[in-house]
Chains A and B, each alone.
Chain A
Amino acid sequence: MPSELAEGVVAGNRRALARAISHVEADNAQGRELLADLYSRTGRAQTIGITGSAGAGKSTLVGALAREQRKRGRTVGIIAVDPSSPFSHGAILGDRIRMQDLTADGGVFMRSMASRGNLGGLAEMASGVVDLMDAAGFDVVLVETVGAGQDEVEVATATQSTVLVANPGGGDDVQSMKAGLMEIAQIMVVNKADLAGADTAVMQLRGLLAIAEPRAWQPPILKAIARTGEGVPELVDAIDKHQAHVRSDEHAEAERQGLVESQILSLVRAALYREALGAARAEGSIDTLVEEVVLRTRDPRSAATTLIDALRQRWMKP
């Protein structure tokens, strides 16, 4: 029996959606129940990840993409993830600044999220919020993340199409993208094409793609000026094309299953990790083990095995 909140989300009640997102963010029982109830209502939205380094113009581009999607008559849900401070765990979430004009648009709903530093949990959280927006009926869901660590790379499992945002003049920038990010991007865009060196950046990306493993979908490389909106219609066209590929191509069946598989696995990893950490800390057992390893009376591998055994014991208990 779906809750009132779940019904509110499906009915397009914005307050219900906002509250539902908070439950999913908190990873509480109500949030999990909502996601279980609503999953059958998902699958309709185009889900698109926008990733790249800090300052690449992701938020500006997300704003421009949303405006173009609205022009095409589509409603848009936006999720912007920024890192939490590793010290205070607080965050300043400023992505709305670049999308101020969209706030007044009833066809747009935007939510800022802090990564909350929960290892592996970010992807879990983000995919949950994507599902809520999908169930709420948005035609397009855009997810902005800083493509920095493994966590952010995993967020790519939450969306069907991932757009990698690069900048001109960043030879190092493009080089450093190789690790992980290239593999997950289905579309690449050199933003700030008004600056010198955009064509060089395109060539560098092309070079990197040429040495990457060949895939059924060849990622196009585009140029854009997010600030003016130049190149943005072409970017939406490219996303639409990839969406058509994901949805209908015979080829795409394996990819679709692969995406769902990696999504499930990343959820399993996050949940196991959290549980293991909880178990290790709850019994204080990790402290003793740490001491022993520091004194070299025990090796780290056997310490890990001991913790895993303790976790197993916990599970065996009725």
Chain B
Amino acid sequence: MATEQRTLRVLIAKPGLDGHDRGAKVVARALRDAGMEVIYTGIRQTPEMIAEAALQEDVDVVGLSILSGAHLEIFPRVISELKKRSVEDVTLFCGGIIPEADIPAVKEMGFSAVFGPGTDTNDIIAFLRENATERA
């Protein structure tokens, strides 16, 4: 093991009350097939649960999928729960249904990328490989 390439660990979570997680599962599978370790937590995650899982799993990346339209309300709470736990060196991205007009606000919160419906999963993979933060 001379060249130690770190395996990226990614938390995929669905906050909020919307019920189905097809999109999130497609992304999870694509990331696995790209050699990443995906911690999948299922639907109806509270901000506290997401942040706590990110902490315990020591992930490099947190990806949130949301369809309910509650992103402007829920995402800041996820971020503040992460901060509360000093989990600040993770790369954040999101997907699902996020109106064009909200994207600047979501990026302002700290999300490095927003992937809408129909995104090519290869784009997500390329993005993560490029952007996941280096570790000390």
Residues of A within 8 A of B (CB): 14-15, 18-19, 21-22, 26-28, 84-85, 87-94, 96-97, 100, 103-104, 109-112, 114, 116, 274, 278, 282
Contacts and interface: CB of A to CB of B under 8 A. Distances in A.
9 contacts: A15-B55, A15-B86, A22-B58, A90-B36, A91-B37, A103-B53, A104-B48, A114-B7, A278-B1
Nearest to A101: B49
Given A18-B56, A92-B40, A112-B57, 6 more contacts: A15-B85, A89-B35, A92-B28, A93-B37, A103-B52, A104-B46
A100 B32 contact: no
A104 B52 contact: yes
Nearest to B29: A92
B52 A90 contact: no
B55 A94 contact: no
A91 B33 CA distance: 8
A97 B42 CA distance: 6
B33 A90 contact: yes
Contacts of A19: 58
A26 B56 CA distance: 16
Contacts of A15: 55, 85-87
Nearest to B44: A100
Contacts, number: 87
A128 to B, nearest CB: 14
A114 B36 CA distance: 10
Contact of B41 (A14, A89, A97): A97
A109 B36 CA distance: 22
Interface in B1-49: 1-2, 4, 6-7, 28-29, 31-42, 45-46, 48-49
A110 B40 CA distance: 13
A111 B42 contact: no
B40 A93 contact: yes
Given A15-B86, A18-B58, A90 B49 contact: no
A110 B49 CA distance: 12
Contacts of A96: 39-42, 53
A91 B53 contact: no
B42 to A, nearest CB: 4
A282 B46 CA distance: 48
Nearest to B40: A94
A274 B45 CA distance: 40
Contacts of A274: 1
Contact of B4 (A18, A28, A84, A97): A28
